[in-house]
């Protein structure tokens, strides 16, 4: 169709796209700065140059090297990866489910994870508590708890997929199945808690406090692989999500296989969430609100929303983790407590302020 | 250009929605599909676009069967403007750029951007290029959706009730735009409509569907009061005004 060959690209559009690209780049730089700060700040202050040396793979002061390599770096990377993964999964779910309240937890995954952990604590003997010198508690057999939480999360996803295949992969079917399953798992957890003894009950509740401090290098590597692959998949589908936002019929007419995109997107988002929930516990809010914060700033175009929301998740979780470690040092608050404390006012501010471009 | 042949569509457990339905359409022609609510007009459009698989029949675009095409190939042959369009926080330019999806690789090419610029110019939307579509009037949004379908560079344009929620001025403007674009690009266009007068004014041919079958078809000046009475159950007079055919309900309708 030669009629369309010599169109004019408005210079203002080029500048507008450039501003969005700067926004994404700015978030990436902020994530890096916060990563260094997360390594540097804490009960023991690590000088920034030592943190940078360690990050660059150079030999840092041995006094700090062990703190950085064994504690700070895996925790900071866990925060970065979990924030990225949860926000990316939330962004995809909001588009796939055509629902602003969509997030990985809309599908009942957090409730499933909590039930899995409670099940492991109560019936598989993973619930013996240990008190450390600072009064923190740990679950005696974290691998068993993690495995049970992961299995419960994935079982939920599989049931939703089975129902969706049976009744058509519509957003309504998926959201309502998720809500029903979430309620079912909540009831199951309450049932177990009712019959649990004091120690088991404490272990069950403790597990639900999402905390990046639970991650070691093995968990970080595992999360990195899953989050990276998931993010590549989501970014590759950015135009499909834009098309679905325009309506299912329009998306189909643009060559998008809507049901397939919806189903695979849900599986990928569930897998990312299941891994993070199983390793770190329940970290709410990031997956729900980070995409909204970013959408209010740069609009709904997934070419920019997907990377920007993912990076904003990393920023929020890194900042929350650092504050959580500093606020009551040497005690460490679970990061999940702080994500909403830091994120909700930001979101409310943007909501009141209105649009920005 | 477009050949629809012996289409039969039925949903599980119910009878046929469309039965032995067919027509042909040449380049630069506009066909208005007419009929009462629920008669299967939208189903027919979805079937032409392969969103619905018919029990029997074929839809050929320039000799190729759409049911043998991949989703991407269909999108490069047929553009579709849905009746209801969601409006998120996307600019006009980006919304129209979405229409290049069937042609794009990983990156947006300069060619894609130029084609969007050209489509915006053709539809008089260039001054709205950076306006978010959720802040547009119904008429403006409909033009954006038509521009999005145009940059797909289809051979056939399908429009489901393109003027259903628009005021009179916008109805005339949108249908005028569709007619101009179809003639300029030599597309074949099929649009479902309720307003007989607008259909007769802007389409080259009409096709009445009754009980899932083609009841009558022809050029606008071939419409008769008997056809309208048989399809809609309404008594009308057919008038000529300023070279146009006008359908006016008469006093025999008991009102």
Instruction: Go through the domains of chain B in sequence order and give each one's CATH number.
Output: 2-225 (3.40.50.300)
For residues A282-308, average pLDDT: 89
Number of helices followed by number of strands (H, E) in chain A: 15, 2
Only one residue has tokens 């009308």, namely B236
Pick the more confident residue, A130 or A144. A144
**Count, residues in chain A:** 357
Backbone φ and ψ for A304, nearest 5 degrees, come out as -110, -35
**Count, residues in chain B:** 255
What is the structure's pLDDT at A3? 62
Superfamily of domain A17-353: ABC transporter involved in vitamin B12 uptake, BtuC (1.10.3470.10)
Contact state of B130 with A12 under an 8 Å Cβ cutoff: yes
Whole-angstrom distance, CA of residue B255 vs CA of residue B252: 8
Whole-angstrom distance, CA of residue A188 vs CA of residue A208: 15
Task: Report the range of poorest mean pLDDT among A121-130, A183-192, B231-240.
Answer: A121-130
User: What is the CB neighbour count within 10 angstroms for residue A28?
Assistant: 15
What is the full per-residue pLDDT of chain B (255 aa) written as tens digits?
888 988 888 876 667 788 888 889 999 999 999 988 888 888 899 999 998 888 888 899 988 999 999 999 999 999 999 888 787 788 999 999 999 999 988 888 888 998 899 889 888 888 888 999 988 888 888 889 989 998 999 999 999 988 887 888 888 888 888 898 899 889 999 999 988 898 998 999 999 998 888 888 889 888 888 888 888 888 888 888 888 888 888 866 665
Which of B112, B126, B130 is most worth mutating to test chain A (most A CB atoms within 10 A of its CB)?
A: B130
Contact state of A8 with B79 under an 8 Å Cβ cutoff: no
What is the structure's pLDDT at A134? 43
Contact state of B129 with A257 under an 8 Å Cβ cutoff: no
Q: Does B42 touch chain A (CB under 8 A)?
A: no
What is the structure's pLDDT at B254? 60
**Residues in contact with A313: Cβ distance below 8 Å, sequence separation at least 6, in sequence order:** A82, A83, A84, A85, A86, A87, A88, A90, A286, A287, A290
Query: Which neighbouring-strand residues pair with A129?
Result: A139
Whole-angstrom distance, CA of residue B6 vs CA of residue B24: 11
Backbone φ and ψ for A193, nearest 5 degrees, come out as -65, -35
Strand B156-160's sheet: what is its strand order? B78-81, B156-160, B188-192, B30-34, B205-210, B213-218
Contact state of A10 with B79 under an 8 Å Cβ cutoff: no
Residue extents of the structural domains in chain A: 17-353
What is the structure's pLDDT at A235? 95
Whole-angstrom distance, CA of residue B199 vs CA of residue B215: 17
Whole-angstrom distance, CA of residue A351 vs CA of residue A100: 14
Contact residues on chain B for A239, CB-CB shorter than 8 A: 98, 101, 104
Contact state of B117 with A255 under an 8 Å Cβ cutoff: no
pLDDT tens digits, A236-292: 999 999 999 888 889 999 999 988 898 888 888 888 888 888 888 888 888 888 898
Which of B93, B144, B146, B187 is most worth mutating to test chain A (most A CB atoms within 10 A of its CB)?
A: B93
Only one residue has tokens 């300069």, namely B110
What value does the mean pLDDT of chain A take?
Answer: 83
Tokens representing residue B55 in the block: 């029990």
In this complex, the residue of A6, A239, A245 whose CB is nearest that of residue B114 is A6
User: What is the CB neighbour count within 10 angstroms for residue B59?
Assistant: 25
Half-sphere exposure of A312 (CA within 13 A, CB side): 31
Backbone φ and ψ for A145, nearest 5 degrees, come out as -65, -45
In Å, how far are A23, A182, B101, B163 from B158, measured between CA atoms? Answer: 38, 42, 18, 13
Pick the more confident residue, A194 or A132. A194
**Residue B111, class by beta-carbon neighbours within 10 Å (0-12 exposed, 13-18 middle, 19+ buried)?**
middle
Return the closest-CA partner of residue A231 out of A204, A268, A256, A182.
A268
What is the structure's pLDDT at A24? 96
Report CA B255 to chain centroid distance, whole Å.
33
What is the structure's pLDDT at A309? 96
For residues A103-132, average pLDDT: 73
For residues A201-213, average pLDDT: 79
Contact state of A250 with B126 under an 8 Å Cβ cutoff: no
Buried b (16+ CB within 10 A) or exposed e, A247-281: bbbbbbbbbbebeebbbebbbbbbbbbbbbbbbbb
In this complex, the residue of B90, B117, B153 whose CB is nearest that of residue A301 is B90
Contact residues on chain B for A294, CB-CB shorter than 8 A: none
For residues A189-197, average pLDDT: 87
Contact state of A295 with B89 under an 8 Å Cβ cutoff: yes
Tokens representing residue B172 in the block: 């005339």
């Amino acid at each position: 169709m030669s009629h369309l060959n010599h169109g004019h690209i408005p210079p203002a559009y080029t500048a507008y796209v450039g501003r969005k690209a700067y926004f994404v780049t700015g978030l990436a730089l902020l994530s890096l700065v916060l990563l260094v700060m997360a390594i540097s700040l804490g009960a023991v202050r690590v000088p920034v140059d030592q943190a940078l040396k360690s990050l660059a793979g150079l030999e840092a002061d041995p006094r700090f090297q062990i703190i950085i390599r064994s504690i700070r770096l895996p925790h900071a990377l866990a925060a970065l990866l979990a924030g990225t993964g949860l926000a990316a999964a939330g962004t995809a779910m909001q588009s796939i489910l055509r629902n602003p309240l969509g997030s990985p937890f809309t599908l009942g995954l957090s409730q499933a994870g909590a039930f899995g952990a409670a099940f492991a604590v109560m019936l598989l003997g993973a619930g013996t508590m240990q008190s450390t010198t600072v009064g923190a508690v740990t679950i005696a057999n974290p691998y068993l708890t993690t495995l049970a939480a992961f299995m419960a999360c994935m079982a939920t996803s599989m049931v939703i997929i089975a129902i969706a295949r049976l009744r058509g992969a519509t957003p309504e079917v998926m959201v309502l199945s998720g809500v029903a399953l979430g309620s079912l798992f909540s009831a199951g957890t309450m049932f177990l808690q009712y019959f649990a003894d004091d120690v088991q009950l404490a272990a069950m509740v403790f597990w639900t406090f999402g905390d990046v401090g639970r991650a070691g290098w093995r968990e970080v590597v595992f999360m990195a692989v899953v989050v990276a692959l998931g993010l590549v998949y989501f970014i590759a589908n950015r135009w499909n999500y834009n098309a679905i936002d325009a309506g299912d019929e329009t998306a189909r007419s643009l060559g998008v296989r809507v049901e397939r995109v919806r189903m695979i997107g849900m599986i990928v988002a569930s897998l990312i969430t299941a891994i993070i929930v199983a390793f770190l516990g329940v970290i709410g809010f990031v997956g729900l609100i980070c995409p909204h914060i970013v959408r209010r700033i740069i609009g709904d175009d997934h070419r920019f929303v997907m990377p920007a929301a993912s990076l904003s998740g990393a920023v929020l979780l890194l900042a929350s983790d650092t504050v959580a470690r500093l606020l009551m040092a040497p005690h460490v608050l679970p990061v999940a407590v702080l994500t909403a404390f830091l994120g909700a006012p930001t979101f409310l501010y943007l909501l009141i302020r209105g649009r920005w471009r | 250009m477009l050949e629809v042949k012996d289409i039969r569509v039925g949903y599980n457990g119910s009878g046929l929605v469309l039965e032995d339905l067919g027509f042909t359409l040449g380049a630069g022609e506009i066909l208005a599909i007419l009929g009462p609510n629920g008669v299967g007009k939208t189903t027919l459009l979805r079937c032409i676009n392969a969103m619905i698989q018919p029990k029997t029949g074929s839809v050929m675009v320039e000799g190729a069967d759409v049911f043998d095409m991949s989703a991407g190939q269909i999108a490069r042959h047929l553009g579709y403007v849905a009746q209801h369009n969601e409006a998120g926080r996307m600019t006009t330019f980006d919304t129209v750029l979405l229409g290049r999806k069937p042609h794009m690789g990983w990156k947006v090419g300069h060619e894609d951007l130029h084609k969007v610029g050209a489509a915006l110019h053709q539809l008089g939307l260039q001054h709205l290029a950076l306006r978010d579509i959720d802040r547009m009037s119904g008429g403006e949004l409909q033009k954006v959706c038509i521009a999005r379908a145009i940059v797909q560079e289809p051979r056939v344009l399908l429009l489901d009730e393109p003027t259903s929620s628009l005021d009179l001025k916008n109805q005339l403007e949108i249908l005028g735009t569709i007619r101009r674009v179809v003639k300029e690009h030599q597309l074949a266009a099929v649009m479902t409509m309720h307003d007989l007068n607008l259909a007769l004014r802007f389409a080259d041919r009409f096709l009445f569907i009754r009980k899932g079958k083609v009841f009558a078809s022809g050029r606008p000046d071939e419409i008769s009061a008997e056809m309208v009475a048989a399809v809609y159950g309404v008594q009308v007079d057919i008038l000529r005004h300023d070279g146009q055919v006008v359908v006016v309900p008469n006093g025999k309708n008991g009102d």
